[in-house]
Structure 1
Amino acid sequence: MIVLMLVIAPSFASAHASNSEGYSLIEVKNTGIAYQLQLDAVELSHAIGFQVDEEANAVPERLQSITSANKVPIEEYLNTHIRMYVDSLPIEGTITEIGMETINEKLFTILSISYALTKAPENLIVQYDAIFEESDPSHANMAKVIMGGKQQEFIFTYEVRELNIGEMSAFTKIKQFFVLGLKHIFTGYDHILFVISLLIGAMKVRHILSLVTAFTIAHSMTLALATLEFVQLPGKFVESAIALSIVYVALKNIFNPDSKHAPWIAFAFGLIHGFGFAGILSELHLGKSHLATALISFNVGIEAGQLLIVSLVFPILLYLSKNFARINKWVTPSISTAVLLFGFAWFIERAF
């Protein structure tokens, strides 16, 4: 049991005895984070939205049974209301045990939450938003964090909801966000299809370089502007526009296959794709000290992935166009039609 109230906030406890309280013990280890969270059982049920009758409130075993039956919604709630960022990247936890205990004549739900890690983190950020909005704005959570052999105490309140421990090294920042950029481009199938569609019909390396350069400059500009919050566009609009860019390029490849894509087309649509790239950075918690390094490293990762895609795909398309002219007459339209269908399906999904 975590009785941090006696250690870090005795005066706070006496002044707020009638308000809901919580206790957190967060132990950061090499292979994971062990989080023991204690919350007022009734307040937790109110926040999640499941019913607790008077009988259950008086009988710990009955209340624990009801709470355990709601493990899935509780886990979803905690992962969206207690957000963990390890070296600026978000991680989600899994509830491994649910118990019940009486503290100060109140029943508390005891939640053991496990977070998997591949190595000991240099920086940990905890954003605590539980209970405040859904149940009790005067709620407070007394936290103790053990990390790197050091212990730190903290009180989460309505006004103060973030705890930041440690600092990433420059090398860790660069590596983390470079890899994140690589993953984003390789799992961003809409971006990949757009780049491949631009390559179709290109016959010279100079033309490819002009297209890729225009696209890179454009999306780098809007990626920076969006991440720095100088320009913001609705996510739904951006994702729909990206889908339409794929539709446009695919239609041009089908109905005007002999016309090369102009660099200004790549630049114009690159501006839209940059806002899409910025989406993932906006979802992360980046302090000002991390922002410049994260932005540059992330963009370099995107460019490296994009260059690799171009290096693999362009030689294949060029070989087909020069050596298999007959085959290429139906291969190119077939590929473009498939790309068109994907783009149109994504547009319908994202716009409506």
Structure 2
Amino acid sequence: MTKPTYRLLTAFLLAALLLAGVLAPPADAHPMSTSAVLLDIGDERVDGEVQLPLDRLSIAVSRDLTREGVLGADRAFLKSYTAQHISAVGKDGEPWTVELGTGTVRSIDAAPHLVYPLEISPPDGEVTDFDLRYDVIVEELLTHKVMVTVRYDFDRGILKTGDAETLGVFDYETKSLSVPAGESSWLRGFAATAAVGIEHVGEGADHLLFLLMLLIPAPLVATGGRWQVAPSRRRAITRILHVVTAFAVGHSLTLALAATGVIDLPTRPVETLIALSIAVSAIHAIRPLAARGEIVIATGFGLIHGLAFASLITDLGLDRGSLLTTLLGFNLGIELTQLLVVALLMPSLLVLARTRFYPAFRTAVAVIGLVFSVSWMLERAALTSTDPFESVQTWLVGRPLWVAVTVAGLAAAAHGVGARAREAAAEH
């Protein structure tokens, strides 16, 4: 190979390697860690937490940080360093108090983070718009970024993880962000809690099934230990209204008592009793346990369902806002969902109840409800590890219109068969 050819080949290979290095995508086996500031905005103070990745924090403070060290020898230094780089100022220029709680080490996105509880308090005890100033790590590590997220603000309708709002990013250019904490009103929180109530009942197979078990015998009357068709549709509709009202009164009472701390029961027994309530109402739908028993069942077990609703309010942290507004909004959502279920199903059930096919339909649906409830009871009492019918329940709950249309189709078909039979009997 001649020297010119050798030189040309060498130059070509070097150019190819350089081009490959430029075009190749950056390696992502070790993504750059980011910090996070999470804010929970209340009426009197702002709570939250600061999440600091240990690898980035180590570079910023020029120390070799370990899980053991940040909770031991380096604890006081790191807390002091972090506190010096966080401040808050109201729109009137007055500084707010910023306090950090005891730090812990937590794995976030598979990376160890030092996490501090955060509390920001205005001098007059009333949270309004303020500026958050922050440059932890960023003041030394210019490539670092800090995500700022509001995960709770009742007045702006931010109540749970799915509602969280990203305010912005702190970096080497941005060291201050405006936090909108006084822009909205309680109406948005009220609407948001109502939406949570609608979502909870609409996606809760047990609550929906309990309501269905109560509605099935509602167009009937108990006579001599058996179900008979109600004398008139007006009386049937009245009984339906009584059942829905009884359930609403029951769960509203315990929802208020539990949410205000007057009643406090463990979750597992409450959930097991809810499954029991479905079983009892299913048995009542097959054969009446007592005259007007569905109203008694709706009231009595409605008390139990109210405890479960209150537990949800606590789990989601909805009680951090105005408790009265939260209870009213959440309860409104529950009642709207129940009324929607009644509106979708009851016209069909009223028609079906006056056909000879209703006893078979009522019994079949009640047996299915009984099987589901027993399965729930066993699982919630920790006697079994799984619910074998979970996929079926999820499928049905996810298709309410399909269920309503199917019941309406059955009602129309049964009414048509009955009409033809009456016509044939009249001809003969």
Q: Give the TM bin, normalised by the shorter chain.
A: 0.5 to 0.7
Partner of 1:308: 340
Once the two structures are superposed, the pairs formed by residues 331-342 of structure 1 within 5 Å of their partners are 331-342=361-372
> CA–CA distance in 1 between the matches of 2:117 and 2:367?
45
Report 1:185-334 matches (<5 A): 185-203=201-219, 204-256=236-288, 260-286=292-318, 290-322=322-354, 324-326=355-357, 328-334=358-364
In structure 2, C-alpha distance between the alignment counterparts of 1:302 and 1:280, rounded to whole Å: 12
170, 174, 185: which one aligns with 1:169: 185
Runs of at least 5 residues in structure 1 that lack an aligned partner in the other structure:
1-21, 29-34, 48-69, 84-100, 127-143, 150-164
Please identify the structure whose Cα radius of gyration is greater.
Answer: 2
1:263/1:124 CA distance change after superposition, 3 Å: closer
Question: After superposition, what is the alpha-carbon deviation per residue over 1:184-240, rounded to whole angstroms, capped at 9, x for unaligned?
Answer: 110111111101100112220111111111111110000011111111111001100
1:241–1:169: structure 2 CA closer, same or farther, 3 Å change rule?
same
Match in the other structure for 2:52: 38
CA contact (8 A) 1:26 1:145 kept: no
1:344 aligns with 2:358: no
The number of residues matched between the two structures is 245
Distance apart, 1:40 and its partner CA: 3.1
Q: Note the C-alpha offset of 1:262.
A: 3.9
**Uncovered stretches (5+) of structure 2, i.e. residues with no partner:** 1-33, 41-48, 56-63, 70-106, 119-136, 161-174, 220-235, 383-428
1 CA distance for matches of 2:360 and 2:147?
55
Question: What are the Cα deviations for residues 89-138 of structure 1, in whole angstroms up to 9, with x where unaligned?
Answer: xxxxxxxxxxxx8999xx9xx78668699x9x848799xxxxxxxxxxxx
Return the structure number with greater relative CO, CA threshold 8 A, min gap 6.
1
Q: Secondary structure at the match of 1:331?
A: helix
Asked if 1 retains the 8 angstrom alpha-carbon contact of 2:50 and 2:117, the reply is no
TM-score, normalised by the number of residues in structure 1: 0.58
Instruction: Give percent identity, aligned residues only.
Output: 31
Q: Aligned partner of 1:40: which letter?
A: L
Corresponding residue number in structure 1 for 2:418: none
Does the CA-based 8 Å contact 1:221-1:274 persist in structure 2? yes
CA gap of 1:331–1:282, structure 2 versus 1, over 3 A, is same
2: distance between equivalents of 1:308 and 1:315?
A: 12
SS at the partner of 1:38?
strand
Query: d(CA) in 1 for partners of 2:326 and 2:309?
Result: 13
The 1:340–1:43 alpha-carbon spacing in structure 2 relative to 1, beyond 3 Å, is farther
Q: Deviations over 1:5-62 (max 9, x none)?
A: xxxxxxxxxxxxxxxxx9755699xxxxxx9942334877569xxxxxxxxxxxxxxx
Kindly state the Cα deviation for residue 345 of structure 1 after the two structures are TM-superposed. 1.1
SS of aligned partner of 2:52:
strand
Q: How far, CA to CA, are the matches of 1:38 and 1:81 in structure 2?
A: 8
Deviation at 1:146, TM superposition (A): 2.4
RMSD of the TM alignment (CA)?
A: 4.2
The answer on whether the counterparts of 1:123 and 1:167 sit within 8 Å (CA) in structure 2 is no
Letter of the 1:317 counterpart? L
Offset at residue 315 of structure 1 (A): 1.3
Aligned: 1:146 with 2:160: no
- For residues 298 and 265 of structure 2, the distance between their equivalents in structure 1, rounded to whole angstroms, comes to 20
SS at match of 1:325: coil
- The offset of 1:167, in angstroms, is 6.8
* Distance in 2 between residues matched to 1:250 and 1:125, nearest whole Å: 35
The DSSP-based 3-state class of the residue aligned with 2:331 is helix
